[in-house]
């Protein structure tokens, strides 16, 4: 594990499951954009070896696999943690945290020690998801989009609102930055990024088509959810994963109902 330079004062650290974008405020003081998928002694050793101090973590969102080292960073450096205010209540329903999360007051910009970080609200994966742009113009996507390698393995990407997520992807498409970093897990230049947007949107459209195939007539909501998950190829014995998958599977069912393609009659999903 090492710090890889990308552009200007922007670098990144590649961990086994994620990329952590890093912005250098000074030679030794840095900002993280998210803090990794799991607590990492190797990451903490790297910071000590390079004599780096993490001044702040700007969170794209507060899912556990993006904030795993927040607590250790707060304890070691007094790191400030920032997130969209809509993310914070959900954090406390999922887990107990011992540190304070400062709500970001603007949807456009966050200034830390004079460094202006541009923000782009990208709801969909979560309600308060943010894309963050370093002063060098490196766009930190968080989970607004997945890298191609991860997308190819993903069976049903987690979404709280698929249609809003697609709108958010299209909004990010309209930007023009030299580099885009997907937390899971890749770096794309501006030309590669256009294809990445297409791939992420197509994944969702394909899942909608798969779901439609499972509703030839009236079908029980819970049975449809299970069949949709099986057809997508999701396999996990972990209860927490199963809960998240059922939730995001139902999000897609409700989206087609909201679009007027189906209706809900008691517990039945019925074609219109």
Domain extents for the chain? 3-205, 214-271
Give the helix/strand (H/E) hosting 48.
helix 41-49
Per-residue pLDDT reduced to its tens digit, 110-145 = 999 999 999 999 999 999 999 999 999 999 999 999
Lowest mean pLDDT among 26-35, 84-93, 124-133, 218-227: 84-93
Per-residue pLDDT reduced to its tens digit, 6-17 = 999 999 999 988
Give the Cα separation of 136 and 9 in Å (integer). 7
Tell me phi and psi for residue 8, to 5 degrees: 60, -125
3-class SS at 181? strand
3-class SS at 1? coil
What's the sign of the alpha-carbon dihedral 31, 34, 39, 43?
negative
If one looks up domain 3-205 in CATH, what number appears? 3.60.15.10
């Amino acid at each position: 594990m090492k710090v890889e330079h990308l552009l200007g004062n922007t670098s990144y650290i590649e961990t086994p499951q994620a990329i952590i974008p890093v912005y250098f405020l000074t030679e030794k003081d840095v900002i993280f954009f998210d803090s990794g998928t799991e607590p990492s002694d190797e990451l903490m050793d790297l910071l000590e070896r390079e004599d780096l101090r993490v001044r702040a973590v700007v969170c794209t969102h507060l899912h556990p696999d993006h904030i795993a080292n927040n607590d250790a960073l707060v304890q070691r450096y007094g790191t400030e943690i920032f997130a969209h205010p809509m993310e914070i209540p959900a954090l406390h329903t999922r887990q107990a945290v011992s540190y304070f999360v400062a709500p970001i007051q603007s949807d456009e910009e966050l200034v830390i020690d004079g460094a202006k970080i541009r923000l782009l609200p990208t709801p969909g994966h979560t309600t308060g998801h943010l894309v963050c742009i370093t002063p060098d113009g490196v766009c930190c996507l968080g989970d607004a989009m997945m890298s191609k390698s991860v997308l190819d393995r993903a069976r049903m990407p987690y979404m709280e609102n698929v249609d809003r997520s697609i709108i958010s992807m299209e909004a990010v498409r309209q930007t023009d930055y030299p580099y885009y970093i997907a937390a899971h897990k890749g770096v794309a230049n501006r030309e590669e990024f256009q294809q990445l947007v297409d791939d992420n949107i197509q994944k969702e459209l394909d899942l909608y088509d798969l779901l439609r195939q499972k509703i030839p007539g009236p079908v029980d909501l819970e049975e449809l959810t299970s069949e949709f998950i099986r057809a997508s190829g999701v396999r996990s014995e972990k209860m927490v994963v199963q809960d998240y998958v059922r939730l995001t599977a139902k999000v897609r069912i409700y989206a087609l109902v909201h679009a007027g393609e189906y209706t809900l009659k008691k517990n039945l999903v019925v074609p219109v």
